[in-house]
């Protein structure tokens, strides 16, 4: 249960074997490549064409997204049970290399264009129909209007608010004819016929009354043109339907495209990694890190590909280097809690893995905050079913296992608090949070003190491990003395204790405070700086008061959750006494709001326990800032890669 020891390696190999070597390293997975460094001028960085691979990945992803839209949808439960298919990296590579990608890509792309072109054509035709719709009842073909010699025939529109005035003014002309073809709330559409001798007078009226002429470029009657357009839309719809049927058939290639996508992503990873190599005309210099336990397998795999034509140097990774990647190794009980470590920051190589140290506290605190046997049982059964029945990837399985563990703590504390869905079933309790408030305050303070002191103790351990025992005394020992003395002195003012014990506690506190004052600024060079930082360090005592107060949330959250549950039970109980309808409504309210309260309680426990871990505990010993060890293989969106 620690940070895995790392070996740094430098590998010299022939360039002609680069492809096979990278394939084998990817099969090995447990290698972390870094940018090689050398002062020799004849060594240059390798350069690869990654742009074309990126373009290919984009193309395949586009096809996958398109085909997924036509894939037969599975029921959600069946989808969870089946999960992603499991493939090895070698299987992905072999299937991708025999897949006729280009042929199928062009085939599916053609289907896509047929569908898109059809939709675009329909959209264009529909727009044309919308333009013609107001003129559907036009009594003549627009093309015939230009054939008159003695009169001028005009089609156009006028704002509907002016239509009455427009009609009156036009009809007031001596030789004019007007037909209102269509009208809506915005515009009125007209066929206007005037004698050519009155054309100028009519034009002045048009301008004054907001008449806009419309040039209808239609062969034949408008209604016939609309019908032809609708027939064309129907034809296009049939073409789209046939193309969509082809798309449904093409989904048989979907898994092959997904395999090819993952293959390309891993090819890109190898290309990008090879750009970190220093190279000459014939040789590659490769540098990186491997876990120490995997060194023998690493050497065997290199020898398998390169034979004896290589030179390998390995050494223990520099403990103080920021470059060393971090790989955590914990047992199955602690591993789910690594999620929280990764959310905050990975440890540096010279630190300790905080996961096994905060995991018991997280387990304990989250259980207290929810503190209900019914809620714990509900989550335990739900997560157990998911773990046993669903085909989950590694990340999802770890996340669900995390809540499965928290549900066990919830059930334990639910028994201690005597709470089952907020007291719907009477149970004996060791502590009743609602009625034993002082006991809950004391419990919160004691657990908070242990949590803080444990974090300080880890800092002392690291100082002693790094052969800095005086730092352990100055940064931890004096704080232990100050805090224990201060707490004890405070208790002596409330409770009766032996005067000698009280005096020892007070003296211990003073010694600790003086020690902090004298050593808090020891890194400063000037006397003023030492005194200033010493005073500032001692002022940190006020922060500890806030730290202790933070643990009141243990009591506050369990009380808030239990009060909501009790309120839901009371409302449901009242409804249960109102006949059949009341029972039904009461049951719905009980189920919905108890489930909601359970969700809210676990969400609050997750967030607030993380806050106690990150802010209160980690602040005492942990800095983080390490870079995680990334295996030499890309995570798959579509498969569980074994």
Q: Are residues 183 and 285 in the same domain?
A: no
How does residue 403 score in pLDDT terms, banded at 50, 70 and 90? very high
CATH number of 155's domain: 3.30.70.2750
pLDDT tens sequence across 479-530 = 889 888 888 888 887 777 788 888 888 888 889 888 888 887 777 777 777 7
DSSP 431: -
Q: What is the pLDDT of residue 368?
A: 94
Mean per-residue pLDDT for 239-265? Answer: 92
**Same domain as 420, residue 315:** no
- Residue 564, in any domain of the structure: yes
Q: What is the mean pLDDT of the chain?
A: 88
84 within some domain: no
**Are residues 321 and 395 both part of a single domain?**
no
Can you tell me the distance from the alpha carbon of 233 to that of 219, in angstroms, rounded to the nearest whole number?
Answer: 18
Q: Could you tell me if residue 444 is inside a domain?
A: yes
Residues 315 and 353 in one domain: no
Residues 362, 317 within the same domain: no
Say how far apart CA 40 and CA 317 lie, in whole Å: 23
pLDDT of residue 65: 92
What is the number of domains present in the chain?
Answer: 3
The answer to which of 39-43, 112-116, 566-570, 580-584 has the lowest mean pLDDT is: 39-43
Helix (H) or strand (E) holding 164: helix 163-171
Whether residue 292 has pLDDT greater than 90: yes
* 350 lies in the same domain as 285: no
User: Same structural domain for residues 460 and 324?
Assistant: no
β-pairing, 6-14 vs 151-159, is unpaired
Same domain, 537 and 407: yes
Note the pLDDT of residue 573. Answer: 86
Backbone angles phi, psi at 374, to 5 degrees: -65, -45
Q: Specify which residues 14 forms β-bridges with.
A: 283
Integer CA distances (angstroms), 622 to 4, 351, 456, in order: 18, 8, 10
Co-location of 414 and 513 in the same domain: yes
The residues, ordered by sequence, that sit 6+ positions from 512 with a Cβ below 8 Å of its Cβ are 478, 479, 480, 481, 482, 483, 485
Global confidence as pTM:
0.82
Position 39 scores a pLDDT of: 63
- pLDDT, position 42: 61
On whether residue 111 sits in a domain, the answer given is: no
Query: How many whole angstroms separate alpha carbon 256 and alpha carbon 270?
Result: 21
Q: Give a three-class secondary structure readout of 74-109.
A: CCHHHHHHHCCEEECHHHHHHHHHHCCHHHHHHHHH
Residue 33 belongs to a domain? yes
Does 303 share its domain with 339? no
pLDDT digits (tens, 9 = 90+) for 94-123: 999 999 999 999 999 999 999 999 999 999
Q: Judge whether 258 lies within some domain.
A: no
Cβ contacts of 270 within 8 Å, gap of 6 or more: 22, 23, 26
Parent domain of 363:
335-621
Residue 487 lies in a domain: yes
| Average pLDDT of span 147-172 | 84
- Confidence at residue 520, expressed as pLDDT on a 0 to 100 scale: 78
Task: Tell whether the model's pLDDT for residue 1 goes beyond 70.
Answer: no
361-376 pLDDT per residue, tens = 999 999 999 999 999 9
Parallel, antiparallel, or unpaired for β 85-87 and 639-641? parallel
Tokens of 62: 């586009």
Whole-angstrom Cα distance, residue 429 to residue 539?
Answer: 42
- Sign of CA pseudo-dihedral 234, 237, 243, 249: negative
Same domain flag for 191 and 207: yes
Boundary (domain end) residue, out of 157, 186, 220: 220
Same domain, 312 and 407: no
The residue count for the chain: 642
């Amino acid at each position: 249960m620690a940070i895995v020891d790392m070996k740094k390696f430098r590998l010299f190999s022939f360039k002609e074997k680069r492809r096979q070597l990278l394939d084998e390293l990817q099969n090995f997975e447990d290698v972390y490549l870094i940018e090689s460094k050398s002062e020799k001028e004849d060594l240059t960085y390798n350069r690869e064409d990654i742009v074309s691979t990126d373009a290919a990945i984009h193309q395949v992803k586009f096809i996958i997204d398109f085909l997924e839209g036509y894939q037969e949808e599975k029921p959600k439960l069946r989808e969870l049970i089946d999960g992603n298919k499991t493939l090895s990296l070698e299987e992905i590579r072999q299937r991708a290399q025999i897949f006729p990608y280009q042929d199928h890509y062009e085939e599916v792309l053609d289907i896509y264009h047929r569908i898109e072109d059809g939709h675009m054509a329909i959209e264009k035709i529909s727009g044309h129909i919308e333009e013609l719709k107001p003129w559907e009842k036009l009594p003549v073909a627009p093309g015939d209007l230009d054939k008159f010699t003695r009169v001028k025939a005009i089609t156009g529109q006028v704002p509907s608010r002016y239509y009455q005035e427009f009609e009156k003014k036009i009809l007031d002309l001596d030789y004019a004819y007007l037909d209102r073809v269509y009208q809506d709330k915005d515009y009125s559409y007209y066929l206007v016929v005037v004698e050519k001798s009155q054309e100028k007078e009519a034009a002045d009226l048009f301008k004054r009354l907001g008449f806009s002429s419309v040039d209808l470029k239609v062969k034949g009657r408008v209604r016939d043109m609309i019908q032809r357009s609708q027939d064309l839309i129907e034809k296009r719809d049939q073409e789209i339907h046939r193309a969509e049927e082809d798309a449904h058939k093409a989904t048989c290639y979907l898994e092959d495209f997904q395999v090819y996508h993952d293959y390309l992503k891993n090819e890109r990873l190898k290309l990008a990694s090879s750009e970190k190599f220093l190279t000459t005309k014939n040789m590659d210099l490769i540098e990186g890190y491997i876990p120490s336990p995997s060194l023998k397998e690493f050497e065997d795999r290199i020898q398998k590909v390169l034979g004896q034509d290589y030179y390998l140097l390995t050494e223990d990774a520099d403990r103080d280097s920021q470059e060393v990647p971090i790989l955590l190794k914990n047992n199955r009980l602690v591993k789910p809690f690594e999620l929280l470590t990764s959310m905050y920051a990975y440890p540096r190589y010279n630190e300790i893995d905080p996961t096994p140290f905060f995991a018991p506290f997280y387990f304990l605190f989250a259980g207290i905050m929810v503190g209900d046997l019914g809620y714990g049982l509900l989550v335990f059964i739900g997560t157990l079913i998911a773990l046993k029945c669903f085909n989950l990837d590694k990340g999802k399985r770890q996340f669900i296992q995390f809540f499965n563990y928290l549900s066990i703590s919830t059930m334990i504390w639910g028994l201690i608090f005597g709470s089952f869905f907020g007291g719907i079933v009477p149970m004996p309790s060791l502590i009743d949070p609602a009625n034993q408030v002082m006991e809950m305050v004391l419990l919160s303070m004691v657990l908070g003190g242990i949590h803080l002191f444990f974090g300080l103790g880890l800092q002392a351990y690291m100082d002693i491990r790094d052969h800095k025992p005086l730092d352990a005394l100055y940064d931890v020992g004096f704080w232990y003395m100050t805090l224990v003395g201060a707490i004890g002195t405070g208790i002596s003012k409330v409770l009766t204790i032996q005067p000698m014990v009280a005096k020892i506690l007070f003296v211990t506190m003073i010694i600790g405070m003086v020690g902090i004052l004298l050593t808090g600024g020891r890194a400063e060079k000037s006397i003023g700086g030492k005194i200033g930082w010493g005073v500032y360090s001692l002022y940190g005592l006020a922060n500890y008061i806030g730290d202790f107060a933070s643990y009141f949330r243990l009591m506050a959250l369990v009380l808030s959750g239990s009060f909501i549950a009790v309120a839901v039970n009371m409302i449901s109980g009242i409804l249960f006494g109102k006949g059949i309808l009341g029972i039904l409504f009461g049951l719905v309210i009980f189920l919905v709001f108890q489930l909601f309260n359970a969700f809210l309680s676990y969400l609050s426990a997750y967030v607030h326990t993380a806050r106690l871990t990150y802010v209160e505990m980690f602040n005492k010993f942990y800095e983080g800032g390490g870079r995680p060890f990334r295996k030499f293989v890309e995570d798959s969106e579509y498969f569980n890669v074994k």
